[in-house]
Structure formats: structure tokens, C-alpha cells
Amino acid sequence: QEALDRLKEAGLTGASVAATDEPVDAKKGTVLRVTPAEGAEVAVTETVTLTIATGQGRLPVLINMTRDEAEAELERYGFTNHQFEGPDDGRVVRTDPQALGIVDRESLVTIFLQAERTAEPSPDPEPEPPVEPDPEPTESVEPPGSPDPEPTP
């Protein structure tokens, strides 16, 4: 607003537009560009356009990153106000606000971590009971000379 007031004092018409791309360290409200360029001669009827930093950025995707990786990525994109929920050795499962949304770089970003799932070891199989051998079949011994039984009518 201060820059627009100065233009007005100089007898010029000023307009401001929100930046659509800005450095990650740009503070909200900072003049990023002036068109025509600063120092150029301008007719009194010409409008001077100021491109103003929004202080916003697109929140990066952090899914499956470790805590350290997520923190480094957030700082790379200018997000320094963040907190973690979950185990320190976990992996990112979601963020609030959601990834890829346009967010004020100074607003709080909550990163939710979940412990890595490891394959459960298979339980040792139960020992099978020992198999009892079948008893050896024995032949029935009939006394010699016994008659075969007669079929009954």
C-alpha cells in the first residue's frame, strides 16, 4: 500500500497485481516488480503496475518421506512453520493443509507420520505329533488239518 501511496503523491496512477510466481523467501506485501521498470520515464496518463508478493506457495507432496526429508522439502519451498504428529521414525501419510494447495508460507502445516509397517514374522509352525507306526499285521495260524468251515445253506 505504501508504494501505491507514493505513486499517487507523484501524480501517477498505480495498480497492484498479485504475483503468480514469486521467490520462496518473498515476504507478503513486498513489491517484486514494477512495470514500466523503476526509473523509466512515465506519462502522467500511464498506469504503473506493481507486482506484489502474496507470501503464498504451493505445498509440496511429502507422502512417504521421512521426518527429516519432509522438513527439508518444506523449508526448500519456504514453509518454516510446521509441526509433526506421530512417531519420529515414521513416514508421512498426509498433511494439513493438503499437498498441492496454495498456502500462506507462514501458516501452520501439520505433517502426520505413521510407523513403517514391517512384515510380521511368520509364527513357527506347531510341531506335528509323532506318527505311531501301524502295528505289523500278523497271520492267524490255524492248527494243521483243521477243516475249512462249511458254508451254511
Containing structural domain, residue 78: 57-114
Number of domains in the chain: 2
Residue 61 lies in a domain: yes
Residues linked to residue 31 through DSSP beta bridges, in sequence order? 52
Residues ≥6 apart with Cβ < 8 Å to 112: 84, 85, 86, 92, 93, 94, 95, 96
Average pLDDT over residues 112-128: 74
CA 85 to each of CA 42, 57, 93, 94: distance values in angstroms, whole numbers, following the listed order:
54, 22, 10, 10
Residue 15: pLDDT over 60: yes
Give per-residue pLDDT as tens, 38-82. 888 888 888 989 999 999 999 999 999 999 999 999 999 999 999
Q: Are residues 108 and 63 in the same domain?
A: yes
3-state SS, residue 88: coil
